[in-house]
Amino acid sequence: DAGVIQSPRHEVTEMGQEVTLRCKPISGHNSLFWYRQTMMRGLELLIYFNNNVPIDDSGMPEDRFSAKMPNASFSTLKIQPSEPRDSAVYFCASREWGGTDTQYFGPGTRLTVL
């Protein structure tokens, strides 16, 4: 099995630009999570989906952040416009809802906003 796939692995952009991060969950998993990790704040849950429906987006920092899950095999996290304080590693994770509670993380996208 391929595991959770994220792209790109690294993104460097300038302040004000739009950034789109992509995630393909493990086939058959019906829950998907987006996290952000920084040295200062650790690993923070941004939003999670069950069966493609956003359940809780209270962790999304601002309106500049948006996430979609158009189908069971794809999700995006968009930042528009980006700011230097958005620099972080963004992780996507998936799990089988009602299963063992085990989340499987992707390798992350390291975002640098200049």
Partner 1 sequence: TQLLEQSPQFLSIQEGENLTVYCNSSSVFSSLQWYRQEPGEGPVLLVTVVTGGEVKKLKRLTFQFGDARKDSSLHITAAQPGDTGLYLCARGGNQFYFGTGTSLTVIP
Q: What are the residues binding partner 1 (CB under 8 A)?
A: 4, 33, 35, 42-45, 48, 56, 91, 93, 100-103, 105-108
Least distance (Å) between residue 107 CB and partner 1: 6
User: Dihedral angle at the C-alpha atoms of 4, 8, 13, 18, nearest 10 degrees?
Assistant: -70
- Which residues are registered as beta bridge partners of 1? none
For partner 1, which is the closer residue by CB, 54 or 81?
54
Nearer to partner 1, 3 or 16 (CB): 3
Instruction: Find out whether 89 and 105 touch, Cβ atoms under 8 Å.
Output: no
81 or 96: whose CB is closer to partner 1? 96
CB 48 to partner 1: min, Å = 7
| Least distance to partner 1, CB of residue 89, Å | 9
Q: Buried b vs exposed e over 75-105: b needs ≥16 C-beta within 10 Å?
A: bebebeebeeebbbebbbbbbbeeeeeebee
- Toward partner 1, which CB reaches closer, 33 or 65? 33
- Closest CB 85 distance from partner 1, rounded Å: 19
